[in-house]
Chain A
Amino acid sequence: MAKDEIREFRLVGTRPDRPDGLDKVTGRARYGADISAPGMLWGAVVRSPHAHARIVRIDSSKAEALAGVKAVVTRADFPTGLTGEDWNLQENTMAGEKALYDGHAVAAVAATSALRAQEAARLIEVEYEVLPHVIDVDDAIRPDAPVIREGAADATVPEGMPPNVVRYIDFGRGDIEAGFAEADLVMERSYKTEATHQGYIEPHACLGQLGEDGKGEMWVCTQGQWFIRRMCTAVLGLETSQLRVTPSEIGGGFGGKTTIFMEPLSLALSRKAGGRPVKIVMSRSEVLRATGPTASASMDVKIGMKKDGTLTAARAEFRMQGGAFPGAPVDMALYCAFAPYKLPAVQHIGYDVLANRPKCAAYRAPGSPMGAFAVESLLDEMCRELDLDPLEMRLKNAVNTGDTSSYGPKFGTIGLIETLEATRAHPNLSAPLGPNQGRGIATGYWFNHNGETSVSMALSEDGTVQVSIGTPDIGGSRASIALMTAETLGIPYEDVRVNVVETGALGVNEPTHGSRATFACGKAAVEAARQAIGEMCRRAASEWGIDPEAVEWMNGAAQPAGPNAGEFPPMTIAEIAGKMGSTGGPISGHHESVPDGVGASFGCHVVDVEVDPETGRTTILRYLVVQDAGRAIHPSYVEGQYQGGAVQGIGWALNEAYIYGEDGRLQNSVFLDYRVPVASDLPMIDTEIVEVPNPGHPFGVRGVGETGITPPLPAIANAIHQATGARLRQLPMSPPRVLAAIGEARQG
């Protein structure tokens, strides 16, 4: 942005206290499991102990005879005839003919206490015919792999592909072979990443109530109450508007709470129990076994590079399994894989493959971290081969505003070069390294998203303001939207209360996902505030007896636009609000749209590690996140997003993985065995906010939630290589795997 375009803001860019902070630190905030209702029952779910099995018989007679048991449901209690993704959701909610993964729900029960419900669940007898299973994506894509579902492939899959391939994508441009021929160095490598879970602290919880008349209510921890409403009613065959969904506070989601799991079960049980509300709270083991982790990936990448670092061509072939249903984010992975770079020739091929694992859900920049692991690792390897500085190579090839992206369309205003230059200037890049220490660099990309958005603003009688939004506050959107609203209205931040409302209060809103909440709801809130300003100016004009066009809004008050408009003292928002009942009624603003102007975000991470050559343990010494935010509305929250993304990426890189036994059962379904990073594992994550404003947003916002998880995987692999000489191409880079790689590297 040119210097003369820089705007001074009164509130945007400041760091006020978060509006939900006191409730959260005092325990007053109500999360999913905190909601109860009179006459409430507790639900429990019977889950398959097999990775793949035909359900021969379900006998619930013993459970139903138990005192306190009020309802049992199986797939027979759900409507038939669903197709497409609605069928997938229903099948994942409750197995039909087959259990498709360890943990797949096969029945559910409601009883007067949680313990009684669990006891009843144990009494439900399920007879299975165990079938061959497949877990690994490379095994699942083999032509002779166990077939998970006949006819699941969509129209993109050409004839003759292996039966578990359900989606195929192929795109690119340029003469790929000529590009490789032009290169001084062509390298091709294969990489694998494991499925990981979002690891949100709050397990899924809901309280559902559904009467025989088809009217229902649900209280639930979710990223998107309208998604819950639409999916639950589709799965249960209800009219969408008859279900009212209220979101609780949310203890993390990261994409994993944008879909349904046990929510329809609570409604189905409630309906069968005469409309009594049914509460279901998942255990951590249920969360890991039966909600939606991300995909696992197997990837081949080939890149051509000249001696000076110029990229000439690149090819990626990615295979991803997203569980027993279509939906692995292989397309997103491919779109993002080479996005940071100018490439004259590029080819992408992707396969979405079924395996006997839980249905994957979105996870922070879905697919992008896997693709970055492969591409950014190979680029680092090539830089070392050609003795090139990895940061300078990235700068040499970095895309800029107006460049053609690797996936086709031209970029709008982007800030990759500014991000790389800010990285180069950061002191972490010149920190000395000791023995067994190494430094890794990687870049990452995410598109960001807009989505259906509806926001209302209402003026209260004392001149303070309420804003109703439909996106649950995960990363600080209430504070950011309050700042943007207050900035627009010219009033104090403290005078704006932002409420996350239920589905009956607004038009359809997409969830808090795709890094969209601050961008899309913020943009709509500004438009709603501008609408209210227009009405307040009209009220003032009416009071003054002048033309509304002769009134302007400044510093939280209406005032004559110039000397010709007349001489009137400013009429403050409080004065207008105080008499709005007698000047025409309530004053509000409303805006709904799928907002245009989405701005993509690039990041660059630099990590210093130390690897213990005796144990293979990797310690993170320093970690730097540099990312283009467009504009940081509340910089503390932006930094929090950068740090959170980096930490999740560190876990994915070093420890986290779904570990299955030969029997296809998940072996690490608790946090003691599924190792997420904890505070003592980490240094303070350093952050640098780059601001290349997005011209598509009134304050320049891009959205920052997702890009930060993309570079850590390759950055850490590159650092481990510098520290040890060992190049790891498979995640997680756990101590045994690092130790083995060090041994192999020493043997040459």
Chain B
Amino acid sequence: MPECCGARMVKVNLWSSLTRFTDGERAVEIEAGTVAEILDGLTAAYPGLGPILDSGVSVVIDGEIATGRHTPVTPESEVFLMQRLKGG
């Protein structure tokens, strides 16, 4: 985390069946400025989520699927973790 940015807690909304890995919490707060920091922070805080995150998820920020780990987030961002979206 760059010093300039300070602590930035981002609320991450999970799908319900993941709550057994997060002590029942459907939304958790992670200190993050990017999607990468969200995913890494989730794994560090809740190791049970690791295999699910590793197998591929979509991170939706303010209604749009993040295009990569570099995608920025802010404390005001609406963040949802969804199963990986794909199409035909």
Contact = CB atoms under 8 A, between A and B. Distances in A.
A596 B68 CA distance: 10
A429 B16 CA distance: 41
Given A332-B85, A362-B87, A156 B64 contact: no
Interface string A439-456: 000000011111000000
B87 A449 contact: yes
A366 B86 CA distance: 8
A325 B73 CA distance: 35
A244 interface: no
Interface stretch (A167-175, A549-557, A571-579, A616-624): A167-175
Secondary structure of the B side of the interface?
mixed
B24 interface: no
B13 interface: yes
Contacts of B18: 156
Contacts of A412: 63-64
Interface in A574-594: 593-594
B35 to A, nearest CB: 12
Contact of A365 (B13, B64, B87): B87
Interface stretch (A416-424, A508-516, A527-535): A508-516
The interface size bin for chain B is 20 to 34
Contacts, number: 98
B68 A408 contact: no
A332 B48 CA distance: 23
B6 interface: no
A598 interface: yes
Contact of B55 (A154, A256, A595): A154
Contacts of A407: 80, 82
A343 to B, nearest CB: 16
Q: Which of B60, B68, B80, B82 has the most CB of A within 10 A?
A: B82
Secondary structure of the A side of the interface?
loop
B2 interface: no
Contacts of A168: 17
B65 A598 contact: yes
Contacts of B20: 158
Q: Which of A168, A332, A706 has the most CB of B within 10 A?
A: A332
A721 to B, nearest CB: 28
Interface in B15-56: 15-18, 20, 48, 51-52, 55
Contacts of A447: 65, 85, 87
Contacts of B62: 409-410
A409 B60 contact: yes
A335 interface: yes
22 contacts: A155-B48, A156-B17, A158-B20, A168-B17, A169-B17, A198-B88, A254-B88, A255-B87, A405-B63, A407-B82, A408-B82, A409-B62, A409-B63, A409-B82, A411-B63, A412-B63, A448-B87, A516-B87, A593-B67, A597-B64, A598-B65, A706-B87
Lowest 10 CB-CB distances: which A-B pairs, in order? Answer: A514-B87, A255-B88, A362-B88, A171-B15, A594-B67, A170-B17, A331-B83, A170-B16, A155-B51, A364-B88
